[in-house]
Structures are given as structure tokens and as C-alpha cells.
Amino acid sequence: MCNSRLIQKYNVPGPRYTSYPTVPYWDAPGFSADQWKQHSLNTFRQSNLEEGISLYIHLPYCESMCTFCGCHKRITTRHEVEAPYIETLLAEWKLYCDLFEETPVIKEIHLGGGTPTFFSPENLKRLIDGIFEHAIRAANWEFSFEGHPNNTTYDHLKALRSVGFTRVSYGVQDYSPKVQKAINRIQPYDRVKKATELARELGYESISHDLVYGLPFQTEADIIETINKTIPLMPDRIAFYSYAHVPWIKGNGQRGFKDEDLPKGELKRQLYETGKTLLQELGYKEIGMDHFAQTDDALYKAMTGGRLHRNFMGYTPSKTSLMIGLGASSISDSWTAFAQNEKNIDTYMAMVKQGEIPVYRGHILTSEDLVIRKHILNLMCRLHTSWENDDLNFEDLPNTLVRLSEMEEDGLLEIGKHDIRISEKGRPFIRNICMAFDMRLRRSKPDTQLFSMTI
């Protein structure tokens, strides 16, 4: 249990580190689409046959606005938008396939949103079939999608299962009617139950429920009720996220309630600790930050086997050096460079129609960036990092250790001769520990409103 002194001391705005450098500190002026194409091609040549590649496909449409959501989306009930968007995704993929010169081997696909199940089963199947007109599956592929329990049908699940999908993640958030009303996500338990049971019947190997703590009006009793309702369904994974309140970035989408309606500080952390205790009593194991899994799930096995990886899709059981993001606002990662697609859907579609890979900003990693990226990835996935090998040393390391010394005094970590190990007490402060390594953040005089609070 975090004590109140530590929460008050370390609860500051900070990144979630799905990348390093984090997006606000990318060197956008030093980036070009031609550079991105060269970096992605270089990584493809080095890793395609050995690792395979990952695809993140952003499907941005939703029929209604959830006021807790920070994703890039467009609200509409006009389903005629589906076919042109699918055509554009496939055209964008063909641009990459032409660049790569040989057949891509796809290890991971993740459909995110928005609401992927806004799209019809037929269009989703058409999308995946179209992807594999120019690609092959890796031997150990993992394809997953984000399902909205209110509109994920048997036909959605069957269509995606038929093209190789084995994992589905359902956005549950919280079962309290008051909380659901505040976040405009009215979602009865029976619909979650039905969607979960249908996925199991169709042979999905891993089912995840996404829960969120820190939502407006949420109480400890709400967390207990939500997890108690989850128990009979026993999802293989549970993502237990902190609500990231950043209305100054996401605009009116996060203004469906007042700031004073949100649990904060020690109260918010208590919600997490209560949920964590209940999940661990059920046999779930904590994975990195904000994730739990049963011991027979691939994510837990990856953690214990030292293969756990983290990228813009979250935690994954294995690493691919190249992740291509398709769709408006998607982010791609070649390990040595990042690139983000145009966010505006109409502009994105126009760029693809003109034969352009539709990136509009990105970052080419420096040698220092690459070293720090490895340290932050180690801390986020393994709670440990080392600089025993010279290739993980960097100029500011002595100052970084000085910055971490107070955290060591607080019992959050142990600093060895050549390594750092985060303690169980330090788990809630992983983001703060990573911030000590973040040279881009330290040099920038950051605007604190860029990030949500770390605790």
C-alpha cells in the first residue's frame, strides 16, 4: 500500500512511456517522410524473416462519444464511411509493400480505435484478407482487436476468428450506473458476459477486460462491485488503467463532468490498491504497469521468460523491431525512428489517394535516445535495468543515479554497482523512475499540462 507521503511527493505529471522519446519531445523539424521510409526499409530488411513485423490498424469511427476517452476518433452513425476507409487502409498497406520489395511476414496485428466493431464483420474480414494478399503469417502469430461489448456480435467474432484472430480485449471500464452515465458509456453487465462467452465458444485463446480507476464519481465500492462481477467471467488478462485526465489536450471529449468529480491523489491510489488486492487473491499476476494476467496466459509467460515488450499497442508477449501503423493518427515504429500518420481522416485519405505514405511528423532516434529507450523499456517490462555492458552507458548516467538516490532512500528501488532494481514498494512509481532517465524531458522545461498525473 502506498503511503500518503510518497503519493504527495511523487504524484506529478509524467509520460506513460509507450515510447521513448515520448511524442511531445520528438524532433519534428529534423524529420521527413523520406527518412522514415528509409529507416522502416532498413529495419524490415534486418528483421522481417527473423522476427516478422507488427501492424497496428486504427479504425477511428464511433457511434457515440465516451467522455473518458483520449483516442483519436470521429463520431458518426453513417456506416457508408466504412468501405472508403477500408479501401484507403489497403491502399496504404500496398504503398508499404511496394517499399519493402519482399513479402512481409506478419507476427502481430492489432485493431484499435475508435470502435473496430463499428465496422461490419464483412468489412473487417475484407480488410484482413486484403492485408494478406501481400503478406504471410508468421508461425507464431497473435492477432487481436478491441471489442465494444455493446456491438460486438457473434458474426464479428466469427469473421475475425476465421482470419486468424485469437485475442479480444473488451472495454468494460466500470459497472456503476452513475459512473457509466458520467462517462457516457452505458454498458450492462449482461452484454459483457454475452460477448465474453461468445468469444470463448468460438475458440479465442485470450480474452481481456479493460477496467479503469479514477473515473468520475467512482468509489472503492464501485471497484469491488466491478471486480466481483468480473470474477465469474475470469478473463485471461485484465488491464487496470488509471484514467488519464487531459481535457486540455483532448478538448470537449473529456469535459462531460467536473474536475471535482474525480477521485484524486491518495483516494485514487486506494482504488487501484483495492482492485489489485482482489485480482491477486483471484490468482492474477501483476504484469509491468497496470496489467494483470492468469499464469497460463502468454503475457505472464513472456514476463517470466524475459520476453515482455512494450510499444504503442501496450504490453505484448514478444518484440518486433518494426511496427507499421495504418490508418489516420496511427504511429509506426522502426526501433530507430517513429512516424505518425495524419490525424485528420479526410487529409489522411487524400494523401494515400495521391500515393503518399501519409506520415506528417516523426522522430529519428539519436544514439543517446536508443540507449535510454532500452533502459526505460527494461524498467517498464522487467523492473530492472543494467549498464554492465558499455553499450548501455550514457553520458548523463552519473547524474541520473543522483536523481534516483532519493527514491532509493524512500525504498522505491535499489541501486547496485551496475544496475537498478525496482522494489515492490516502487511499482506504483515506475513512471517517476523512468522520468529520471528521460533526457528529452529534462532538457525541455516541460509544460506540465502535457501529461496526466503519475499516481
Q: What is the CATH number of the domain that holds 226?
A: 3.30.750.200
Q: Which residues contact 110 (CB under 8 A, 6 or more apart)?
A: 54, 55, 56, 57, 143, 144, 145, 146, 313
Considering the domain boundaries, does residue 155 fall inside one? Answer: no
Q: Which residues contact 139 (CB under 8 A, 6 or more apart)?
A: none
> How far is residue 391's CA from residue 370's CA, in Å, rounded to a whole number?
10
What pTM was computed for the model?
Answer: 0.93
Considering the domain boundaries, does residue 7 fall inside one? Answer: no
Do 260 and 339 lie in one domain? The reply is: no
Do 72 and 119 lie in one domain? The reply is: yes
Considering the domain boundaries, does residue 84 fall inside one? Answer: yes
Q: Is the pLDDT of residue 448 over 60?
A: no
Do 175 and 298 lie in one domain? The reply is: yes
Do 61 and 48 lie in one domain? The reply is: yes
- Are the C-beta atoms of 271 and 263 separated by less than 8 Å? yes
Considering the domain boundaries, does residue 22 fall inside one? Answer: no
What is the rounded average pLDDT for all residues in the chain? 92
3-state class of 361 per DSSP? strand
54-90 pLDDT per residue, tens: 999 999 999 888 877 777 888 899 999 999 999 999 9
Considering the domain boundaries, does residue 16 fall inside one? Answer: no
Instruction: State the pLDDT at residue 449.
Output: 60
Do 37 and 140 lie in one domain? The reply is: yes
Do 286 and 349 lie in one domain? The reply is: no
DSSP secondary structure letter of residue 52: -
Q: What is the CATH number of the domain that holds 433?
A: 1.10.10.920
> What are the phi and psi torsion angles at 258 (to 5°)?
-95, 155
Do 179 and 231 lie in one domain? The reply is: yes
Predicted confidence band at 161 (pLDDT cuts at 50, 70, 90)? very high
> How far is residue 144's CA from residue 202's CA, in Å, rounded to a whole number?
14
Q: Which residues contact 189 (CB under 8 A, 6 or more apart)?
A: 175, 229
Q: Is the pLDDT of residue 445 over 80?
A: no
Do 133 and 192 lie in one domain? The reply is: no
* Strand ranges in 351-450 using DSSP code E only, listed in sequence order: 359-364, 384-386, 413-415, 419-422
Do 105 and 197 lie in one domain? The reply is: no
Do 353 and 402 lie in one domain? The reply is: no
176-203 pLDDT per residue, tens: 999 999 998 998 999 999 999 999 999 9
Do 69 and 134 lie in one domain? The reply is: yes
Considering the domain boundaries, does residue 5 fall inside one? Answer: no
Which grid cell sits at 85? Answer: 476507409
Considering the domain boundaries, does residue 137 fall inside one? Answer: yes
Considering the domain boundaries, does residue 419 fall inside one? Answer: yes
Is the Cα dihedral 71, 74, 75, 79 positive or negative?
negative
Residue 116: name the closest of 163, 84, 160 by CA.
160
- Are the C-beta atoms of 324 and 332 separated by less than 8 Å? yes
As annotated, the binding site includes 56, 62, 66, 68-70, 113-115, 146, 173, 185, 210, 244, 331
> How far is residue 176's CA from residue 211's CA, in Å, rounded to a whole number?
12
Which grid cell sits at 313? Answer: 499497442
Buried b (16+ CB within 10 A) or exposed e, 303-324: beeeebbbbbbbbbbbbbbbbb
Q: Which residues contact 358 (CB under 8 A, 6 or more apart)?
A: 92, 341, 342, 347, 348, 351, 352
Do 190 and 134 lie in one domain? The reply is: no
Instruction: State the pLDDT at residue 243.
Output: 87
As annotated, the binding site for S-adenosyl-L-methionine includes 56, 68-70, 113-115, 146, 173, 185, 210, 244, 331
- Give how many domains the chain has, as a whole number: 3
As annotated, the binding site for [4Fe-4S] cluster includes 62, 66, 69
Is the Cα dihedral 142, 143, 146, 148 positive or negative?
negative
User: 133: domain range?
Assistant: 29-147+321-363
Tell me what the mean pLDDT of segment 286-297 comes to: 94
